[in-house]
Amino acid sequence: MTATATRVACPALFISAPASGQGKTTLTAGLARLHRRAGRRVRVFKTGPDFLDPMILERASGAPVLSLDLWMVGEAGCRALLAQAAQEADLILIEGVMGLFDGTPSSADLAATFGVPVAAAISAKSMAQTFGAIAFGLARFRADVPFHGVLANHVGSPRHAQMLQEALPADIRWLGHVASDAAFALPERHLGLHRADEIGDLDARIDRAADALEATALAALPPAVEFALPCNDTDADADSARTPRLLDGRHIAVARDAAFSFIYPANLALLETMGARLSFFSPLADEAAPADADAVYLPGGYPELHAATLAANARSAQSLRAHVAAQRPLVAECGGLLYLLDTLTTTDGACTPMLGLLPGAAVMQKRFAALGMQRLDSARHGTVTGHTFHYSRVSTPLAAELHARHAQTGAAGEPVYRHGAIVATYMHAYWPSNPAFAAALFHGTAL
């Protein structure tokens, strides 16, 4: 493909379903592994603001998994990511979120915008001919959504699969079936799937899913889709040159382990594109934040599952307290916010001391406390998009410096707290939506 081309083509498929819990992630991971085993370069994307599914999909495909969302990433951002992938890969897979038509914007909106054909995975557990009605609805509900076909998941027997196939209208493509098999099911807990590195036999599970899909029509390459390049110049270095180097020379230390792992790969890539040098440390392993770090980033994750260990790890705690005492910026999101507080109480009533760098306490809930897309409107830097999803509630005497707003309703969302050198919030911001805002966070300047 020459540098002056305006479109690039690549086989692409959108894996969706009528609802959550149909097996989208398992099937997408299995399909990625199947094609990777065939020697193809596979790039996988996840629809919406997800951290856990991409970890599984990255293991399956061998490449980072980025988010696609028409609101959070933006249409232009999604187009650029897809076009770049089309130039590098032999196959693009996109895993949807929830049901095909759920949300605003939905998976269907994304598929229609870029013309990616949809393969619907339908769990056939406790179902027979109604499978055909659900497939009919998915295929016909919107004429602008390119529909590739349906795959039956959680099928009980060959006779069951035959009944399902016979129930389909003649013009809806049958892509095959996959039997129920605990051997490749993915374990879940609150917030979603387990982290990839917590599933000891994950690769074996993905391989078994790939084996199951090998006999289906999904094993064949899907149709090629043309993706418009964002500009005539396709040189990645030119893209980097267009992003201001607002963090040139700054060293940012990022907490990354089983307690702090909810990180958009695009966020880290942006920091590096803006000139930052990144290093990583593990509070869970009691590693100190680098003493020469200009700023620290504490992302979200599962501190509540590791509260006692974090509370006992003095070396890491002391380094973070020294960093804040030196008035160097510390940016915390969601789980990172919880770690900074005075205490964290889990659902069993255990109250554990945390860092005490941010006044307040968090209490875990048995049901989620907030969920949805949100945006921050900064008077200095404009709007940054993101999302929130958490099972805890925080009480603090601090007043919010900013308040996020819900994407669709404009209702008040997550507060953003500033306390000395600390900026902390529940909201997971998608920094490529506003590089200047991200740079201000890590310079410790006004938002």
pTM assigned to the model: 0.92
pLDDT digits (tens, 9 = 90+) for 115-142: 999 999 999 999 999 999 999 999 999 9
Residue 234 scores a pLDDT above 50:
no
Helix (H) or strand (E) holding 423: strand 422-425
Does the domain formed by 244-443 have CATH 3.30.830.10? Answer: no
Contact assessment for residue 161 and residue 152, using Cβ atoms and an 8 Å cutoff: yes
Question: What would the pLDDT profile of 185-220 be if each residue is shown by its tens digit?
Answer: 665 545 555 665 666 678 889 999 999 999 898 889
Q: Which residue has the higher pLDDT, 174 or 3?
A: 174
Average pLDDT over the chain, rounded to whole?
92
Q: Residue 173 has what DSSP assignment?
A: P
Domain ranges in the chain with CATH number 3.40.50.300: 7-228
pLDDT of residue 61: 96
Q: What's the one-letter identity of residue 30? A: G
Q: H/E element holding 202?
A: helix 202-213
**Span 58-70, mean pLDDT?**
96
Task: Give 141-192 pLDDT, tens digit per residue.
Answer: 999 999 999 999 999 999 999 999 999 999 999 999 999 875 556 655 455 5
Question: Which CATH architecture best describes the domain 7-228?
Answer: 3-Layer(aba) Sandwich (3.40)
Question: For residue range 336-372, what is the model confidence (pLDDT) as tens digits?
Answer: 999 999 999 999 999 999 999 999 999 999 888 888 9
Q: What is the mean pLDDT of residues 268-285?
A: 98
pLDDT in the model for residue 236: 41
Choose between 66 and 181: higher pLDDT: 66
What are the residue ranges of CATH 3.40.50.880 in the chain? Answer: 244-443
Whole-angstrom Cα distance, residue 14 to residue 48? 13
Task: Give the pLDDT confidence score for residue 398 in this predicted structure.
Answer: 97
Residue pLDDT, tens place only, 18-63: 999 899 999 999 999 999 999 999 999 999 988 888 999 999 999 9
* Integer Cα distance of 184 and 193 in angstroms: 13
**pLDDT value at position 194?**
62
Q: Any idea which residues carry the catalytic annotation?
A: 334
What are the DSSP calls for 236-287, one per residue? HHHHHHHS--TTTT-EEEEE-SSSEEE--HHHHHHHHHTTPEEEEE-TTTTP
Residues 6+ apart with CB under 8 A from 298: 255, 260, 330, 331, 332, 333, 335, 336, 337, 339, 340
Lowest mean pLDDT among 121-130, 227-236, 271-280, 291-300: 227-236
pLDDT tens sequence across 391-445: 999 999 999 999 999 998 999 999 999 999 999 999 999 999 999 999 999 999 9
